[in-house]
A = this chain, B = another copy of it.
């Protein structure tokens, strides 16, 4: 089976254009970076200070304006694309390259996840440079006093520093490095920097559809997501979809003394636990009948790509502090399956606040990771049918007394919209070109991931534009994205500049 992928990759190499990215160009980009480390990190620092999170629309707007001017300074035609009503804008930029046949859209998002400042070691919007990850014996770095070249293991901590502002800064750094060397771009360049990805991209489809001509291209390169845990450059060809549901289960109208009423008044925490155990076991297997009906099998090439990924399991087990894994597959294989994750469960009280009472309700928060060809709608239908088979009455609103009295088991479901998965062909000419260019930049092997375990709505690009969509992440896997103390490791930024430079100057098919 191994030969399948080798054959594909060997074939692709034919289409690559390494001559456009000769060793001396790579050296030049590196040289430019070394002499501009302060400016590049300063750019990331400046962007990270802008509070571009959903809770701060002014911060989002400020970031969009700043990014637009950064593109304009570099000669891009620019525009802010919006769905109206003050919703976050897509920052669009376009630059024609004389003689180029292909047009590539570089996608990233400039909004960050919400923050809980109390969980952070320092202010999420006042970037802090540290000598390494937290709890590694790291110390703070005074950036103003620091002289380049910086230690590449240093990390800049701040919300969105990694997810995705680093991707934007790497793109700009690569562009500047190429320009400084007088290097021509090999492709026409378009930029789509989204401002509400972390909010679920509610207006992205409309913006894309409203601007189809403006956004026409031959390829989308997605700068979102972290690199493979081996730190190897990675390319991904899809992403799992997602949907989520909040399940509220009802017990008695008021909390009841369990000494006087337990064993008789139903306990909603137990009902919730029973339901979870019926839906999924503790080895990750989804037990809901029919859940796998829409699962498209992986192709031999995809399976081979998964098998070729460098093993990182032993190190990850230690990093996570776990004594077992769910199931007995390697991590990447596990992520190719649909998943049912319990994000949280809450009923009654625990610890010192726990009263000897039957709780009034239980809330389970679930997210589902979808694979092709599941859809949020098919998952919803399957789950609801399962619940009904188990005797549950599904309601959308908080049940009134009559409803409570009429039904033995009531679950209030609040579905999140979600979107489907996407897995694309590993062997298109565009994919081969990206792979060849990435290899040149990385000066080593590149990990090919048929589908990322996490979800990004890249199905949209493929769905609307019918062109290849390829993920090209650059940031460290241990970046705490979506959590407190998000951080970007400098070496990843340096490598990202090389990678983007290769995509701008050496991509050809």
Q: Is the CB of B264 within 8 A of A324?
A: no
Q: Report copies per complex.
A: 2
Contact flag A346-B345 (CB < 8 Å), given A266-B282, A271-B282: yes
What are 25 A-to-B residue pairs whose CB atoms are below 8 Å? A226-B260, A246-B354, A257-B482, A258-B343, A260-B335, A261-B320, A262-B334, A264-B326, A264-B334, A271-B282, A273-B274, A274-B277, A277-B278, A318-B405, A321-B404, A323-B408, A341-B358, A342-B359, A343-B356, A343-B359, A344-B349, A344-B350, A345-B350, A348-B365, A350-B365
Partner of A324, one of B242, B272, B408: B408
The answer to the question of A367 belonging to the interface, with a C-beta cut-off of 8 Å to chain B, is yes
A285 and B280 alpha carbons, distance in the complex (Å)? 22
Which residues does chain B contribute within 8 Å of A481, judged by CB atoms? 257
Which A residues from 402 to 422 make CB contacts under 8 A with B? 404-410
Interface of A is mostly: mixed
Contacting residue for A282 out of B270, B322, B356, B407, CB 8 A: B270
Q: Cα distance A274–B270 when bound, in Å?
A: 10
- Asked whether B263 lies within 8 Å of A337 as measured between CB atoms, the reply is yes
The residue that A322 contacts in the complex, of B251, B323, B357, with Cβ under 8 A, is B251
Chain B residues, CB < 8 A from A260: 226, 335, 452-454, 477
A144 at interface, CB cutoff 8 A: no
Contact A351 B363 (CB under 8 A): yes
Proximity string of chain A (468-499) to chain B, C-beta cutoff 8 Å, 1 when within and 0 when not: 00000000010011110000000000000000
**CA–CA, A345 to B348, complex, Å?**
7
What are the nearest 7 A-B pairs in CB distance?
A: A259-B454, A344-B348, A273-B276, A253-B321, A324-B408, A277-B277, A269-B342
User: Closest CB of chain B to A471's CB: distance in Å?
Assistant: 13
A365 partner, pick from B322, B354, B362, beta carbons under 8 A? B354
A326 touching B267 in the complex, CB below 8 Å, given contacts A262-B339, A357-B483: yes
Which of A252, A323, A453 has the most chain B CB within a 10 Å cutoff? A323
CA distance A246 to B353 in the complex (A): 12
Q: A363-B351, A364-B350, A482-B357 are in contact. Are A323 and B410 (CB under 8 A)?
A: yes
